[in-house]
Structure 1
Amino acid sequence: MNRARHRDALLAEAGDDGTLRQLGDDHLALHRPRRDAGTLLVTFEGLDETRLRDGGLPFSSRIAAERGWATLDIMAEGRTWFRDAAVHDLFDDLTDDGFFDEYDRVVFAGAGMGAYGAGAHSVASPGAIVLLIQPIATLDRVVAPWERRFRSARALDWTGRYGNAARMVDAAERVFLVTDPHVAGDAMHASLFSASHVVRLPAPFAGADIRGRLESIGILDRLLTGAETGALGPEEFARLWRGRRQDAGWLQDLLRRTDRMDRPWLQALVAGHMVRHGAGQVARRRLNAALSRLASEGRDAPGDLAPAAPSGRTLMAGE
Structure 2
Amino acid sequence: MAANPKLFLSSFVLNESSDLLEWISYHKSIGASDIHIFVGSKSDGERPLLDALADAGVVTLQPVPVDPETSEEMRNSALRAATLEARQSGGYGLFLAPDEYLRITAKGGTVQALMKACKDADVLCAPVLEFGTGGRHKHMPGPVLSTATHRAPLPDAVPECSFRSIVRLGLYPSRTPDMPTGPAQKPDPKWVNGSGKAMPRPYSRAAWSDAKGVIGTDKATILKLSAPSVETYLLRMNALPEKNRPDAATVAARLQGFAAMTEPDPGLASHSATIDTQIAALLALPGIAAAQETVCARERAALENLRMSEPVILAPAPAKQTTSPDEAMPDDTEADDGLGETPDSTPAQGPGLPAWFAEIHTSGDRQGFYTRLANHALVCIRRDDARLVVTFDNLSNVNDLSFTREPWAYKFVRDNNCSHLSVMARRKDWFRDPQLIEHLQTLAANGFFREFGKVFMTGTSMGGFAALAFASLAPGATIISFNPQTTLDETLVPWEKRFRMGRQRDWSLPFSDSAYEIDDIEKAFVLYDPFFEPDRRHVERLEGDNVHLLKSWCTGHFTPVFLRRANLLKPIMQHAIDNTLTPELFYSLYRARRGLPWYRKSLESYLQDRGRPELALRARSAFRKLRKQAAE
- For structure 1, the residue ranges without an aligned partner over 5 or more in a row are 280-312, 314-319
Q: Which residue of 1 aligns with 2:371?
A: 21
Deviation at 1:37?
Answer: 3.6
Please point out which of 569, 576, 579 is paired with 1:220: 569
Aligned amino acid, residue 497 of structure 2: R
Structure 2 residue 509 is matched with structure 1 residue 163: no
Moved more, 245-254 or 121-130: 245-254
Count matched residues.
277
In structure 2, what is the equivalent of residue 45 of structure 1?
Answer: 393
1:11–1:230 distance in 2 versus 1, CA, 3 Å: closer
Partner secondary structure for residue 519 of structure 2: helix
Residue number in structure 2 paired with 1:283: none
Structure 1 counterpart of 2:539: 190
CA 229–12 in structure 1, closer or farther in 2 if over 3 Å, else same: closer
The C-alpha deviation readout for 1:112-164, integer Å capped at 9, x for no partner, is: 11011111111111111111111111111222222222222222111222221
**Distance in 1 between residues matched to 2:378 and 2:395, nearest whole Å:** 11
Q: CA deviation at 1:274?
A: 4.7
Alpha-carbon distance between aligned partners in 2 of 1:106 and 1:226, rounded to the nearest angstrom:
14
- The equivalent residue for 1:271 is 620
Q: Report the Cα distance in structure 1 between the residues aligned to 2:422 and 2:626, rounded to whole angstroms.
A: 38
The 8 Å contact of residues 179 and 187 in structure 1, kept in 2 or not, is answered as yes
Deviation at 1:165, TM superposition (A): 0.9
Q: TM-score, normalised by structure 2?
A: 0.40
Distance 1:214 1:132 in 2: 13
Cα deviation, 1:190-222, whole Å, max 9, x if unaligned, reads 111112211111111112211221222222232
Alignment equivalent of 1:11, drawn from 354, 357, 381: 357
Secondary structure of 1:83's partner? Answer: coil
- Determine the structure 2 residue equivalent to 1:120: 469
Residue identity in the other structure for 1:140: D
Q: Which amino acid aligns with 2:510?
A: R
Aligned partners of 1:125, 1:221: CA distance in 2, in Å? 24
Query: Which whole-Å CA distance do the structure 1 matches of 2:549 and 2:567 have between them?
Result: 20
Equivalent residue, structure 1, for 2:209: none
Q: Kindly indicate whether residue 498 of structure 2 is the aligned counterpart of residue 149 of structure 1.
A: yes
- Residue in structure 1 matched with residue 435 of structure 2 by the alignment: 86
Take 1:251 and 1:61, find their aligned partners in 2: how far apart are those partners? Answer: 32
Considering only CA atoms, is the larger Rg found in Structure 1 or Structure 2? Answer: 2
Shift of 1:270: 3.6
State the Cα distance separating 1:259 from its structure 2 match.
4.6
Residues 144-153 or 123-132, more deviating: 144-153
Aligned counterparts of 2:478 and 2:610: Cα–Cα separation in 1: 38
Deviations 1:216-254 (A, max 9, x none): 222223223333343222211111212222223333333
Corresponding position: 1:199 with 2:548: yes
The answer to whether the 8 Å contact 1:175/1:198 transfers is yes
SS in 2 for 1:72: strand
Report the secondary structure of 2:545's partner residue.
coil
1:66 aligns with 2:415: yes
Distance 1:171 1:271, change over 3 A: same
Report the AA paired with residue 176 of structure 1.
F
Give yes or no for contact 1:11–1:19 (8 Å, CA) kept in 2.
Answer: no
Q: TM-score, normalised by structure 1?
A: 0.76
Distance in structure 1 (CA, Å) of the matches to 2:405 and 2:626: 33
CA contact (8 A) 1:83 1:157 kept: yes
In structure 2, give the amino acid aligned to 1:21: T
Q: 1:13 to 1:241 in 2, by over 3 A?
A: farther
2:471 alignment partner, SS class: helix
Distance 1:86 1:195, change over 3 A: same
Report the 3-state secondary structure (helix = DSSP H, G, I; strand = E; otherwise coil) of the residue aligned with 1:252.
helix
CA contact (8 A) 1:40 1:106 kept: yes
Offset of residue 81 of structure 1 = 0.4
Hey, what does 2:449 align to over in structure 1? 100
Worse overlay, 179-188 or 141-150: 141-150
Give the 3 Å change call, closer, same or farther, for CA 154–59 of structure 1 in structure 2: closer
Indicate how the Cα distance of structure 1 residues 261 and 142 shifts in structure 2: closer, same or farther if over 3 A, else same.
closer
Q: Are positions 1:175 and 2:524 aligned together?
A: yes
1:45-82 deviations in whole A, cap 9, x for unaligned?
13634859xx7534422332332111111121231101
Q: 2 CA distance for matches of 1:274 and 1:191?
A: 31
Residue 276 (structure 1) shift:
4.8
Cα-Cα RMSD:
3.0
1:46 and 1:77 in contact (8 A); partners too? no
What corresponds to 1:295 in structure 2?
none
**Identity value in percent:** 27
Do structure 1's residue 140 and structure 2's residue 489 form an aligned pair?
yes
- Separation (CA, whole Å) in 1 of partners of 2:379 and 2:618: 46
Aligned mates of 1:222, 1:183 — CA distance in 2 = 24
Question: Does 1:241 pair with 2:590?
Answer: yes
Give the letter aligned to residue 505 of structure 2: L
**Amino acid aligned to 1:29:** L
Provide the secondary structure at the position in 2 that maps to 1:140.
coil
Secondary structure class of the residue paired with 2:553: coil
